Amino acid sequence: MSATSVSHRSAVRDTASEVPSRKNVRQQEVLRLLPRPLLIVIIAVLCAAVLLPLLYIFLASLNNDSSIARGDFWPESWTLENYSKIWVNVGLANGLINSVLVAGCTAVVSAAMSVGTAYVLVRYTFVGRITILRGLLGLQSVPGTLMLLPVFVVFSSAKTYLGITVIGTQWGLFLTYLTFALPFSTWVMVTYLRGLPRELEEAARIDGASNLGVLFKIIVPLSWPGIVVSGIFAFLLGWNDVLFASVMTRPDSQTAAVALQLFGASTEGGAIPYYGQMMASALVCAAPVVILYLIFQRYLVGGLTAGGVK
């Protein structure tokens, strides 16, 4: 084993050992800024502002519609019928499958492509590099509403000129989300890779690693927090979208967000809307996102704060 590989491994261990100490320093800085009693009060108020609406939604999902319409916070009668009815009345099963498939593919592809793109933009100098970086940043300021008609016209033209049906398909919706997710994911990875030391790459090149070897053996293992952040934000883009999904899909390819919107619109003319089923559907649709955050929480903290402290 060469000396450079040993130094490379020791550098990685030193970088990992610095993480707990940085966390302790940040906690001490927060305690110096705010007294502990005031900090407890602020945290309690913030938690109540987030948890009370969730508690109401959960209790309403176990209540009947007439009791919810009267404004009762505590359920009049506890029932799980709302959770059994949503699979038939809302059509949530098909919507969830389409949402997981489209949003998951968008997250994986955008995160994978953004790593290589960001590595080239950060580590190599070529004509147009600054223009591309400024373009990625400028694309974030364009509202998605303004892009609805151009994207629809371009994709619908594929049927006429190429004989390919894009509108109404799952992969067409995937391409739509990838159009907006990839610039953001690339910019997140550019910010993250700027904070990685070049010495690790130089040590790997001395050991004979190629450009792809450096990318897959050095950059990717060290960039997991940034990759997870870019992937989760891309997943949320596809999971929460209603505007593009309502235009680019058909009944067999609509997502869960569109199914909820259609269900809510169809019950507005009734005497009492199906409040309980709406609340139950909202909780079921929010569960995958919550589980995703709980699984990748430790990566999210490091990825979001990357580049903030040098």
Q: Note whether residue 12 is domain-resident.
A: no
pLDDT of 54 above 80: yes
Per-residue CA distances from 161 to 123, 149, 151 (Å): 39, 18, 15
pLDDT of 81 above 80: yes
For the chain, the domain total comes to 1
Q: Note whether residue 81 is domain-resident.
A: no
Q: Note whether residue 134 is domain-resident.
A: yes
Q: Note whether residue 285 is domain-resident.
A: yes
Q: Which structural domain range is residue 175 located in?
A: 89-304
Provide CB contacts within 8 A for 131, sequence distance 6+. Answer: none
Mean pLDDT score, 203-221: 86
- Give tens-digit pLDDT for 161-190: 888 888 888 888 999 999 889 988 998 888
pLDDT of 269 above 80: no
How many residues are listed for the chain in this entry? 310
pLDDT band, residue 107 (cuts 50/70/90): very high
Provide CB contacts within 8 A for 241, sequence distance 6+. Answer: 177, 255, 257
- Give tens-digit pLDDT for 3-20: 444 444 554 455 444 445
pLDDT band, residue 46 (cuts 50/70/90): very high
The CATH number assigned to the domain holding 132 equals 1.10.3720.10
pLDDT of 23 above 70: no
Percent of the chain beyond pLDDT 90? 14
pLDDT of 307 above 50: no
Mean pLDDT score, 77-90: 84
Q: Note whether residue 247 is domain-resident.
A: yes
> CB of 82 within 8 A of CB of 280?
yes
Q: Note whether residue 136 is domain-resident.
A: yes
Q: Note whether residue 130 is domain-resident.
A: yes
pLDDT band, residue 25 (cuts 50/70/90): low
Q: Note whether residue 42 is domain-resident.
A: no
